[in-house]
Structure 1
Amino acid sequence: MTEGNDESNIRPQQPAVNIVTNTNIPSPIQRLQTTIQRSPPKVDAHHEPSSARNAGITTLVPTWQHLVNQIRSCDKCKLHHSRTHVVIERGTRDANWMFVGEGPGEQEDLQGKPFVGASGQLLDKMISAMQLDIQQEVYIANVVKCRPPKNRNPELEEIAQCSNYLKEQIALVKPQIIITLGRFAAQTILNSDSAVGKLRNKVHDYLGIPVIVTYHPSYLLRTPSAKRDSWQDLQLALKVFAERNS
């Protein structure tokens, strides 16, 4: 999908829906996570059982209030020193569709919401082209909740410290499908070292939830020629969602 063009002019062939499962080979992020000391989880009043629409998610997860409080007070990595706001979510928590990016930019840090800058404007157009309502059907989050300085890429340690928050968001939202935006989101959720170009145009799996990989909107702004491929990815997501709910 290109800005200013009707997406109906782009008619890619519908890809075959083949589920790609995790190979269970640890990625650098997962290997780093194993070096981080964690306290054993405690069952308290802040946690509640979650049995999901998705059979793969049956675990003990925190309540929204407890999770949000944890994220807002987080000081696990150096990013908390320079943040203006933590950036947690946008859309509805009762969503079937979940979009995951990598980390906040300048505008996101100022406003405390993901995808509100130029990349967010393009993402909103992409979601609208799918005929989805962000406020009613979509939940948007990032892997990293604090802005990396000068919009640099998030570091492995920052991703490792923050990725559990994303996993808890997924467990609470219980989406029927996840779309990852960019390399870091795809690699974190799929536990992969592969580039977006190798992961896209396939249906992956995360705890029973289908995952579609596509390019980050910021990349699409820099590389307009990739918008057609991204629109093809979104069409694949629509097809998978329709088959899942038929």
Structure 2
Amino acid sequence: MNRILIVEDEVKLANLQLEYLQNAGFNVDSLKNGYEVVPWFKQNITDLILLDLMLPGCDGLDICREIRAFSNVPIIMITARIEEIDRLLGLELGADDYICKPYSLREMVARVKAVLRRKQLQAEQPTANLSKIKLNPNTFRVSAEGKDVELTSVEFQLLQTMYLQPGRIFSRSKLMDMIYQDQRIVSDRTIDSHIKKLRKKLTDLIPEQELIQSVYGAGYRYDATDVKQ
């Protein structure tokens, strides 16, 4: 049975979240103050955090950034601020998803289940053993030739998507659909920005080979020659 931590300072909303998640079969803990979250998390085991953006003491983005420094626990950000920059910033810091207020509590439960299911699939996904690089879905780290680098959640999902099907061309829209499964509006430039950062990190591992290749007018692919015959 998965254990969920709710971080929400609105008592009525937190109680509703707790009730719906418990009815869905989850064990649930709840905190109200931002300063309590990281110390609590270090002393307890939880499988996912529902993290409100606006909290007394310490806001959700700072909490997410601090937790991501030592843990890859799934985090769903909850926010009433709908500006795209806030959404992207939250995801850049390593949040796995976000929900905008006001929202359906049934949708919240569905999002929690979807993120946990996706994390489980990533943990079970075998890596391509014949490749020069190795992916660790539990830590978001990539290793090669005795070195390793850490990726953000989005960068890791992009790499893993292409890595598991080397040589296949993925359009930007296809990558967006696979990475952002809630059908949010994300521009091509967002994908290009993530790919640029991902390439730089991979170059630090294997400078002599461009593992993520651009295909003019089509999208991106993982270099199939990385897989030894």
TM-score (norm 1): 0.28
Larger Cα-atom Rg = 2
Higher relative contact order, structure no. (Cα contacts within 8 Å, ≥ 6 residues apart)? 1
